């Protein structure tokens, strides 16, 4: 893995939000809307997390797998790339990339996973480097003397992978946004500490609002909607 985010392919591939949320023509032809697209990606993020719990891989592997999946769907359609097979293959690929290989097969034949692995690698242009907010989160909380917020903020960071933030923002800004939410929620006076960082607080607050808006939107049960959306996609044997 590259040691410096700013010289990495991850940084080079950061995207504008409008370029991330694009429904491919094949999906539009099947009636998939932008809201449908976002819900499927969130559902598949949750699916990856559940599958990862069965093989007990590290959270970093889960986060990398979700990032791969989200990168793939900026270029490929749900119609072409079976979301659940993409989920398992992304987890399989992430486990290898993060040097945590596991036997991840489940409902799919290993041949299907290996074939999809090649398709995913091509869709990613073989760029597998992913930086995550977790390291920055720990360093920032230590520096701020707020290690008591670790569990709370860690959970918020995990939730950001149900969104496309990792494709859009540098990981350290995502970490700061999670700390900002946690400090406000827990009545921690962090104003002076944030000022010393000399980061653009408008960006940090905007990311924070995106996360809070996501939480608000998830108050409704989405499973029925997800089932309807999958009904629009090709049936898989």
| pLDDT for the residue numbered 100 | 61
Contact status, residue 61 vs residue 40, Cβ threshold 8 Å:
no
Helix (H, G, I), strand (E, B), or coil: what is residue 170? coil
Helix (H, G, I), strand (E, B), or coil: what is residue 29? coil
| pLDDT for the residue numbered 22 | 94
| CATH superfamily of the 133-217 domain | Cyclin-like (1.10.472.10)
Q: Within 10 A of 185 (CB to CB), how many other CB atoms are there?
A: 13
Contact status, residue 179 vs residue 208, Cβ threshold 8 Å:
no
237 residues of the chain, pLDDT tens digit each:
346 899 999 999 999 999 999 999 999 999 999 999 999 999 999 999 998 888 888 899 999 999 999 999 999 999 999 999 999 999 989 988 877 655 565 556 788 888 999 999 999 999 999 999 999 999 999 999 999 999 999 999 999 999 999 999 999 999 999 999 999 999 999 999 999 998 999 999 999 999 999 998 876 777 788 989 999 999 875
Hey, what are 225's tokens? 């909607």
Helix (H, G, I), strand (E, B), or coil: what is residue 103? coil
Within this chain, domains 16-130 and 133-217 share the same CATH topology: yes
Q: Where are the domains of the chain?
A: 16-130, 133-217
| pLDDT for the residue numbered 2 | 42
- The rounded distance, in Å, linking the Cα atoms of 132 and 166 is 8
| CATH superfamily of the 16-130 domain | Cyclin-like (1.10.472.10)
């Amino acid at each position: 893995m590259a040691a410096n985010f700013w010289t990495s392919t991850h940084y080079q591939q950061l995207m504008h939000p409008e370029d991330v949320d694009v429904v491919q023509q094949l999906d539009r032809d099947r009636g998939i809307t932008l809201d449908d697209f976002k819900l499927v990606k969130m559902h598949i993020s949750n699916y990856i997390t559940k599958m990862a719990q069965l093989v007990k891989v590290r959270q970093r592997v889960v986060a990398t797998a979700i990032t791969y999946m989200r990168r793939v769907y900026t270029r490929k359609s749900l119609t072409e790339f079976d979301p659940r097979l993409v989920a398992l293959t992304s987890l399989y690929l992430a486990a290898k990339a993060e040097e945590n290989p596991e036997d991840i097969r489940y409902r799919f034949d290993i041949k299907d996973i290996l074939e999809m692995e090649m398709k995913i690698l091509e869709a990613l242009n073989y760029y597998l480097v992913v930086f995550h907010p977790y390291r920055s989160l720990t360093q920032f909380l230590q520096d701020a003397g707020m290690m008591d917020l670790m569990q709370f903020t860690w959970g918020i960071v995990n939730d950001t992978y149900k969104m496309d933030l990792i494709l859009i923002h540098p990981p350290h800004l995502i970490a700061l946004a999670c700390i900002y939410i946690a400090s406000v929620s827990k009545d921690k006076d962090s104003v002076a500490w944030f000022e010393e960082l000399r980061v653009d607080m408008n960006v940090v607050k905007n990311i924070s609002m995106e996360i809070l808006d996501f939480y608000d939107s998830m108050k409704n049960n989405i499973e029925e909607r997800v089932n309807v959306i999958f009904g629009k996609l090709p049936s898989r044997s």
